Structure 1
Amino acid sequence: MSALVWITVVSLAAWGWLLLCQGFFWRTDVRLPGRRDPDPWPSVCVVVPARDEAAVLPASLPSLLAQDYPGRAEIFLVDDGSTDGTGALARELSRRHGGLPLTVGSPGEPPAGWTGKLWAVRHGIGLARARDPEYLLLTDADIAHAPDSLRELVAAARTGGFDVVSQMARLRVQSLWERLVVPAFVYFFAQLYPFRWIGRRGSRTAAAAGGCVLLRAETAGRARIPDAIRHAVIDDVALARAVKAVGGHVWLGLADRVDSVRPYPRLGDLWRMVSRSAYAQLRHNPLLLLGTVAGLALVYLVPPAAVVAGAASGSAAVAVTGAAAWAVMAGTYAPMLRYYRQPPWLAPLLPFTAFLYLLMTVDSAVQHYRGRGAAWKGRTYARPEAVADEG
């Protein structure tokens, strides 16, 4: 057999393994688990870190203010050095809409060793501690919640005994590039962190979705959150790992009524979203980078290349094997497209999107070695230093 046939067979075998042995990551039925109303309802403080979010707050903050929660709940929005009037707008929205009490705070610039978001979260949790809540809801400023979102999250946490209940907010999918890139982003995330494995007690797989994280306050204290993860660029995964490290139980699934209102209309917007943290995901390790590039090429690029090469050379074995791998790939992607209400004809285009992600990952490494690191909202985290544990 030729080398191309062997490579194509390995690609097909990889897809067989992904289909059956990677936690059924491609299924989209992991939603909030069965739940019942607690009696009494525990108190909750909502912490919203916000930096230059005036454009999205009118679509997101009113949804938090309007939460239909039977227990005591309060919102703490932390204005992280905004220059667009985020804090003033939040106060005005609170006056206009009423609802849950809102406190707007400002922590100042983060000290060395802290990311801006986690410094803001620390300030918000500090303000919330005065209310002695049982749960903290950490949610981003671009996330809109259905009126019963908080109620459902708390009921699920109480019923299942979870220390973290996190939902992957449904991202906006309107522009052409959003349609091509966004569903694949969630698909790849689930492939790395299968949701079924995360929720299994004793499993080492840990992840959360930073846009919507309900966290037991007592567990946050034991896990020293956010201090223990203060330098993490991918803070949601770091948070879940910290919780599991102290014996906490984490649940992550797809959301039905929690949505991101942030637009990513151009490829450049999506490129920056992915590349700012892609190399951090690989722990800034060049060997992991090489392995990731090779893996993406083998799994996603070989099947369509084999179909073309097999047809051009007259090799039926190469063409058929490549087509079979491509078909399995598209089949596993179809449920995510349905979840995002996208047409099925986008499924065979996944190799093109995977190639974009390969380039984004390489670009992330290039930016790191140029000293630019992860850049977001006017801040750059060049080369993360090791942060010593606090006693």
Structure 2
Amino acid sequence: MGHTAHVSALVWSAAGSLVAWLWLLLRQGWFWRTDVRLPPLRDPRAWPDVCVVVPARDEAAVLSLSLPSLLAQDYPGRAEVFLVDDGSADGTGELARDLARRHGGLPLTVDTPGEPPAGWTGKLWAVRHGLARASERDPEYVLLTDADIAHAPDSLRRLVAAARTGGFDVVSQMARLRVESPWERLVVPAFVYFFAQLYPFRWIAREGTRTAAAAGGCVLLRAAAAARARIPDAIRQAVIDDVALARAVKRSGGRVWLGLADGVDSVRPYPRLGDLWRMVSRSAYAQLRHSPLLLAGTVAGLALVYLVPPVAVAAGTATGSAAAALLGAAAWLVMTGTYVPMLRYYRQPWWLAPLLPFTAALYLLMTVDSAVRHHRGHGAAWKGRTYARPEPLPDEG
């Protein structure tokens, strides 16, 4: 009786996983497709003024690979770069000035805002300072980009053209992350895949939907929309600031576009599993709004969707349950098929796709670790700063 109940539970779990995958395949905004890209360049009638704001904290190791690409932007209109040195101890500001002297290109201003006051994350305090400096130039758009992001020479042109011709208040590109070490190949494409599954890009661009997200490494923001949405003051405590920014803009009536990048690349290396673990775990629990209930639901969902299929195949084969093995194999096949396009985008071999359950297990453990660290009082930590759970802001109810 016990063996029969075990096999029955295995069959039902495998069936549930297959149903979940069929739903994701057909009903989750075609999240697995990688064709949401900036359209071919169509020049607007006039090129608006743009200011580029780069918050930077201890970025000397990557700045020489990224900042020259911004200074060398082939933009027909007026553009200027503001690098905000957020209390760096490694000479980031001095290196930025030296790079500007050696490479020339767009004008560069380096400034520092001082330590963030209570209630602000360091990055958003730096963004606030950079936006204030940029507002002196009265630009129509502001490009928020991280200090580890390298841009192709036509990147700014394409972003502005897409915003102008498409009528978008936010145009954001998910920078192509580095995939050179074995752990990067295993973990990084899955990171973008999971993000697209959670925030289907097609839904983000659709008016009348609540789905909103952006990728913080590359966000072109209309200045008027930023003022209307009270950016960054309205999101000053947000650890996942890019998603918070997109939500604030969309709630205020703005239009948001997010897609995969061509010519926008992260140069930051994550060669070891520990580096990737820290990248994910520092904000995973914040994504779940620090809710134990959401954490439990996420763990259960990840287990059903990603872990049950290989377990059902192995256990079904071992126990002679053909139904469990076949249902698990079908779910695993759908999972594998939806992951292949992302691997192709990252120029990785297809045979990594069947390993997605293992990668998902790693992400599950990272998420649990993020929650454990939070409840031990460590919070979200990044570059020497730790952020506790955000408190409700008086002006946000």
| TM-score tier after normalising by the smaller chain length | over 0.9
Q: Does 1:340 align with 2:346?
A: yes
Separation (CA, whole Å) in 1 of partners of 2:127 and 2:343: 33
CA RMSD of aligned residues (A): 1.0
Q: Deviation of residue 390 (structure 1)?
A: 7.4
Q: Deviation of residue 34 (structure 1)?
A: 4.9
User: Paired residue for 1:94?
Assistant: 100
- Read off the aligned partner of 2:183 and give its amino acid letter: W
User: Paired residue for 1:113?
Assistant: 119
- Read off the aligned partner of 2:197 and give its amino acid letter: Q
Which of these residues, 229, 232, 247, is aligned with residue 226 of structure 1?
A: 232
Asked if structure 1 preserves the Cα contact closer than 8 Å seen for 2:199 and 2:212, the reply is yes
Asked if structure 1 preserves the Cα contact closer than 8 Å seen for 2:50 and 2:141, the reply is yes
Q: Deviation of residue 249 (structure 1)?
A: 0.3
TM-score by length of 1: 0.99
Separation (CA, whole Å) in 2 of partners of 1:100 and 1:208: 25
User: Paired residue for 2:263?
Assistant: 257
User: Paired residue for 1:82?
Assistant: 88
Q: Deviation digits for residues 308-330 of structure 1, max 9, x if unmatched?
A: 00110111111111000000000
Structure 2 spans left out of the alignment, 5+ residues: 1-6
Separation (CA, whole Å) in 1 of partners of 2:175 and 2:258: 11
- Read off the aligned partner of 1:352 and give its amino acid letter: F
Write the mapping of 1:181-200 to structure 2, written as runs, cut at 5 A.
181-200=187-206
Q: Deviation of residue 39 (structure 1)?
A: 2.1
SS in 2 for 1:205: coil
Q: Does 1:126 align with 2:132?
A: yes
Write the mapping of 1:39-54 to structure 2, written as runs, cut at 5 A.
39-54=45-60
Asked if structure 1 preserves the Cα contact closer than 8 Å seen for 2:290 and 2:371, the reply is yes
User: Paired residue for 2:4?
Assistant: none
User: Paired residue for 1:372?
Assistant: 378
Q: Does 1:331 align with 2:337?
A: yes
Q: Deviation digits for residues 59-114 of structure 1, max 9, x if unmatched?
A: 00000000000000000000000000000000000000000000000000000000
Q: Deviation digits for residues 220-257 of structure 1, max 9, x if unmatched?
A: 01111000000000000000000001100000000011
Q: Deviation digits for residues 208-231 of structure 1, max 9, x if unmatched?
A: 000000000011011110000000
Separation (CA, whole Å) in 2 of partners of 1:126 and 1:390: 22
Q: Does 1:139 align with 2:153?
A: no
Asked if structure 2 preserves the Cα contact closer than 8 Å seen for 1:35 and 1:160, the reply is no
Q: Deviation digits for residues 305-362 of structure 1, max 9, x if unmatched?
A: 0000011011111111100000000000000000000000000000000000000000
Separation (CA, whole Å) in 1 of partners of 2:154 and 2:41: 13
Q: Deviation of residue 384 (structure 1)?
A: 1.8
Write the mapping of 1:350-369 to structure 2, written as runs, cut at 5 A.
350-369=356-375
Q: Closer, same or farther in 2 for the Cα pair 1:251/1:66, shift >3 Å?
A: same
Q: Deviation of residue 33 (structure 1)?
A: 2.9
User: Paired residue for 1:274?
Assistant: 280
Asked if structure 2 preserves the Cα contact closer than 8 Å seen for 1:134 and 1:218, the reply is yes
Q: Deviation digits for residues 106-152 of structure 1, max 9, x if unmatched?
A: 00000000000000000000000000000000000000000000000
Separation (CA, whole Å) in 2 of partners of 1:301 and 1:390: 39
Q: Does 1:385 align with 2:391?
A: yes
Separation (CA, whole Å) in 1 of partners of 2:396 and 2:371: 30
Asked if structure 2 preserves the Cα contact closer than 8 Å seen for 1:153 and 1:165, the reply is yes
Separation (CA, whole Å) in 1 of partners of 2:188 and 2:291: 26
TM-score by length of 2: 0.97
Separation (CA, whole Å) in 1 of partners of 2:284 and 2:123: 18
Separation (CA, whole Å) in 2 of partners of 1:170 and 1:154: 19
Separation (CA, whole Å) in 1 of partners of 2:144 and 2:59: 16
Separation (CA, whole Å) in 2 of partners of 1:388 and 1:176: 46
Asked if structure 2 preserves the Cα contact closer than 8 Å seen for 1:371 and 1:383, the reply is no
- Read off the aligned partner of 1:320 and give its amino acid letter: L
SS in 2 for 1:2: helix
Separation (CA, whole Å) in 1 of partners of 2:49 and 2:171: 16
Asked if structure 1 preserves the Cα contact closer than 8 Å seen for 2:290 and 2:389, the reply is no
Separation (CA, whole Å) in 2 of partners of 1:91 and 1:162: 33
- Read off the aligned partner of 1:17 and give its amino acid letter: W
Structure 1 spans left out of the alignment, 5+ residues: none
SS in 2 for 1:158: helix
SS in 1 for 2:144: strand
User: Paired residue for 1:217?
Assistant: 223
Q: Deviation digits for residues 349-379 of structure 1, max 9, x if unmatched?
A: 0000000000000000001001110000100
Asked if structure 2 preserves the Cα contact closer than 8 Å seen for 1:34 and 1:159, the reply is no
Q: Which runs of 4+ in 1 moved over 6 A?
A: none
Which of these residues, 196, 203, 206, is aligned with residue 209 of structure 2?
A: 203
Q: After the TM superposition, which of the residue ranges 377-386 and 29-38 deviates more from structure 2? A: 29-38
SS in 2 for 1:389: helix
Asked if structure 2 preserves the Cα contact closer than 8 Å seen for 1:231 and 1:384, the reply is yes
SS in 1 for 2:206: coil
- Read off the aligned partner of 1:160 and give its amino acid letter: G
Q: Percent identity?
A: 84
User: Paired residue for 2:302?
Assistant: 296
Separation (CA, whole Å) in 2 of partners of 1:99 and 1:272: 35
- Read off the aligned partner of 2:240 and give its amino acid letter: I
